Chain A
Amino acid sequence: MTSSFKSIEENLKAEAGKLLESGRVEIVLAYGRGYDENHPMPFVAKHPSDVANMVFNEYCIHNLARYLVRYPRGTKIAVAVKAADCRAVIQLIQEEKIKRDDVVFLGIPVYGMKNPKTGEIIDSKTTCGMYNPVLYDVLLGEEVHGQKIVSPYDVLADYEAMDKEARWAFWKKEFDRCIRCYACRKACPMCYCDPCFIDQSKPRWGDKSPQSHGNLMYHLTRFHHLAGRCIDCGECSRACPVDIPLYLFHKKVAKECEEMFGQAAGMSIDDKPALVNFRVDDSDKILE
C-alpha cells in the first residue's frame, strides 16, 4: 500500500512547518496552488504560515532541484523531491553546487504522476521511472513497492533500431521545430551555466534564429554537456511547447555512460561525476 496524495500533502505541510519553525531551514521548496487544481506551481515557503498554501497532487510534476542554485551558497533549504528530483539534488552535490549539509531532502515516494498538458501518466518512457527517492532525510509517505519496474532505457528500442542516417534525419526534423524559447535548459536542474554557451557573443557558437544549424548546435551541445549528468527527470521535454522528445537523446547518452562507466547520474553523494572522474580502468569505447 502506498500513501495517497492527500496524506503526502499533509506530511509535507507538517514537516515543512517544523523545519521552518525550528529554524533548521530558511526556505522550503515545495508545491503551491496554481490557477486551478490541475496546475499547481513550484512554491517557496519562508514562514511557517506559508505552509498552509502547500499542495501535493498528481500534477506536482516539477523538479524543484532546479531552484536550488538560485539561492546564495549556504542557504539552508528543504526541498520536496520525487525519485528523479532527488537524483538531481545528489548530482548537484556531486558537482559541488550545493552542500549536503545545507539541504534537507523531503522524499516523496510516488507513482502515477500526470502531465497536465496531455493527461498521460508520467512513467519510465519520459523519466527514470523510479518510484522511491534514493536518499532522504524525511520520507513523506510509504515507499512504493510492488509496482512494475521498467528500465528507463526500454523506450529506446525503436530509436536504437534506426541506423545513423535515420537518426540524423530524425533529429534534424525534430530540431527544425524548435523555437529557441530555451524552456528546456531553464527547466533543467543541471543547466546552471551563466552564461550558457549559446548566449555568448564571442565566440558566437550558434545563431539566434530558429534555423537548422543553430538549433542543432544548441541542442547537440546541450545534450553532450549533460552527458553523465542528466538524471532523466523529463522536465526538458515537458517544458517544451512544441513537444520535441528531448528525453530520447538524454536517455541514449545516459545509457551509454552507464554502460561505459558503470554509474548512473545522481545515485550517490559519494560518486564523482562520471565524466569528471578519471579511473585507470575507464572504458576506452569513446575513443574507438
Chain B
Amino acid sequence: MLKKTAINKISELAAVLMEKGTLLAPVKEAAGFNFREISDAGQVNLHFHNTIISPKSAFFPQMEDFVRYQTGKSILEAAPVELNLKPVFLFGVRPCDVKSFEIMDIHFSGTGAVDPYWKKRREAATIFGHAFDLNEAADPAEFYHTLGIGAADPQGSDIFMVTKDNDLLFKSITPKGKKLLEELTMLTEASAGDRKYFEDYIARGHDYKTRFASVEPKAIATEFESIFDNREFWKNVSNACLSCGVCTFVCPTCYCFDICDETLFNKGTRRRVWDACMFTDFTLEASGHNPRTNVYQRLRQKICHKYSFSIRKYGVISCVGCGRCTRYCPVNIDIFSIVEQAVKAKWYKRL
C-alpha cells in the first residue's frame, strides 16, 4: 500500500499520531536534531540529515527506572516501575538506524535472558523509516554502505517514507504498518507515477555511495583477533583518544549500562543508566584491580566489541556505519579508518 501527503501537511499527520499514542520524531535543537516526544505537532522537522543521538533511546533510554524505594523501609515496600506504554510512533528513522534495532534485538531479546524493557518498548513501537535524500551528498563521516545498508532500504521499518518533490510517500512494509496506514485517513492514495518513483528510489539507494570498504564479517573478526595483542597498532590509533563517552552515547548499537541506586533524602530509584567502556572506571573492581587502565585498551575494547566479539557471539558486526561516533568525536577519531587500517597492509609494523 502506498499513500502520500504534502510535506507542509506533516503537522496534521503528527497531530493524528499524537492522538493515537506517543510520537517520537526529529526536532531541531541548539546543536542539531534529536528524536523527542512531540508535544506540539509543529515541532516535527524532517529537514534533517540525521540526529545527534541515535534513535536507540526510544527503546533503550539513557535512564530506565526499575524500582522506587525508600531507604530504611523494607524491600517489600519497594515498588517496581511498570511500563504502561501507549502505542509509540517512531517517525523519520534513517535506514542505517533501523538496521541497528535488528542488531540490538539479538542482544536484548534474541539471546539469553530477555530484557523486558527493551522488548516492551520495541513491541509498542511502529517505525516510520525515512530514506536519505539521494540528491544530497553523503555526510563524510558515514559509511553504511560498508555494512551493506542502502540509503533507502525499507527493511526493518513498518512504514517506509520517501520524499518526492513536495510530497512524502508512505509504503507499508509490515502488517502492523499496513494496519496503521489504513487508519491514517488524512493520507491520500498515491498515483501509479508515485509507485514507480518509490520503487526506483529504493533501487537508487543502493547506488548511493557513502565511504566503502570491503568488509566480510568473519574475515574482519579474524583480522582483529590477529592484531589484538599488537599494542603498537592500538596505541597509534588511540593516541588522540580522550576516553570520553561521546562515541558510545551517540552510537545506535552501544548498549553498555550501569545499574545505579540514586537516592535523594530517603527516596530513591534503582535505574539503569548508559555507561561507556571508554570510561576509566568502567571495569574498576572493588579490589582496585582494573583490567583496562590504558586508553588504548578501552578504544580497542570498543572497536573489537563491534568488529570482532559481536561477530563471534551474535554473528553480526554491531555497527551500522551511521558515522555518529566519528562526527561527534571531539578529536576526529574515525572508526572506519581504523577498520580500514586493520584490513589493509600492516603499515604499523616498523622494522
Contacts and interface: CB of A to CB of B under 8 A. Distances in A.
Complex A–B touching at CB under 8 A: yes
Interface of A: 34-36, 38-44, 47, 62, 66-67, 70, 116, 177, 179-183, 185-187, 194-195, 199, 207-211, 213-214, 235, 238-243
Nearest to B63: A209
Contact of B281 (A36, A181, A195): A195
A182 B331 contact: no
4 shortest interchain CB distances as A-B pairs = A239-B330, A243-B31, A186-B244, A186-B242
B273 interface: yes
A187 B242 contact: yes
A75 B345 CA distance: 31
A35 B334 contact: yes
A241 B264 contact: no
Which bracket fits the contact residues of B?
A: 35 or more
Interface in B210-260: 239-240, 242-246, 249-250, 258, 260
A238 B141 contact: no
Contacts of A70: 295
B31 A241 contact: yes
B326 to A, nearest CB: 6
A72 B123 CA distance: 52
Interface string B263-275: 0100000010101
A187 B336 contact: no
A181 B273 contact: no
Contacts of A34: 332, 334
Contacts of B295: 70
B52 A242 contact: yes
B331 A41 contact: yes
A227 B39 CA distance: 40
B53 interface: yes
A38 B330 CA distance: 13
A181 B264 CA distance: 22
Contact of B30 (A36, A41, A67, A243): A243
Contacts of B276: 181
Interface of B: 29-31, 52-53, 62-63, 140-141, 239-240, 242-246, 249-250, 258, 260, 262, 264, 271, 273, 275-276, 279-281, 295, 326, 328, 330-334, 336-337, 350
B257 to A, nearest CB: 10
Interface SS majority for chain B: loop
Given A35-B141, A209-B271, A210-B62, A182 B245 contact: yes
Given A43-B240, A199-B280, 17 more contacts: A35-B326, A35-B337, A41-B240, A66-B242, A70-B295, A181-B246, A181-B249, A183-B244, A185-B244, A186-B242, A187-B242, A208-B260, A209-B62, A235-B330, A239-B242, A239-B246, A243-B31
A35 B140 contact: yes
Contact of B245 (A35, A39, A62, A183): A183
B72 to A, nearest CB: 18
6 contacts: A70-B295, A182-B244, A187-B244, A195-B281, A210-B62, A238-B330
B281 A241 contact: no
A207 B336 contact: no
B63 A211 contact: yes
Given A42-B331, A182-B279, A209-B271, A241 B240 contact: no
B30 A208 contact: no
A183 B330 contact: yes
A271 to B, nearest CB: 27
B336 A35 contact: yes
Nearest to B350: A47
B82 to A, nearest CB: 19
